[in-house]
Amino acid sequence: MFTANRPMSRNLDHYIEVQIHTEIVLSQDVDYLVADAAYRGTAYETVFKKLCTSNSIELLWNEGRALAVEAIPKNFRGPEMPAIGREIAVDHKIDASILGLAERRYREEIRDEAARIDKNQQLKYLWHILVKYGQPIVLV
């Protein structure tokens, strides 16, 4: 049984990554779309709802995480992480949507593939920090 309502695990060594190497039909192959709470109230929420409605998929929200830039540790995933967090932060914080915006910006601005891969690796490390140290997003 699937549940999106349980607390997000902060154990980064025990998660499941799924890669699909064939075509899928959303209306036949997907039951749930679990979205990060950081996307609530954004244009993505509208897209998620339309996608789910048109394909009979249930939209679920996890609690999401946010982290103040000042709380990014220097001793987890590299001493450069606080500086990178400051570089991409919006209103002095990071969350999943902010990481997504940074990835998009890197894809558009960085033409050197090796440099772009390195920046995306740094974003992955920031994601690890966000999951481990971030606090649940409180929606008002």
The string of pLDDT tens digits covering residues 72-87 is 999 999 999 999 999 9
Q: Which residues pair with 34 in a beta bridge?
A: 60
The answer as to whether 16 is a domain residue is: no
pLDDT digits 0-9 by tens, 9-33: 555 555 566 788 999 999 999 999 9
- Smallest CA-to-CA distance from 36 within 8, 67, 68, 73 is with 8
Please report which confidence band the pLDDT of residue 138 belongs to, taking 50, 70 and 90 as the band edges.
Answer: confident
Range of the domain at 51: 26-61
Tell me the percentage of the chain whose pLDDT exceeds 70.
87
The answer as to whether 54 is a domain residue is: yes
Question: Do 50 and 92 reside in the same domain of the chain?
Answer: no
Strand order in the sheet with 135-136: 93-95, 65-68, 135-136
- Smallest CA-to-CA distance from 139 within 52, 66, 58, 49 is with 66
Mean pLDDT within 101-122: 95
Residue spans of beta strands (DSSP E) within 38-133: 58-61, 65-68, 93-95
Mean pLDDT within 92-103: 96
The answer as to whether 3 is a domain residue is: no
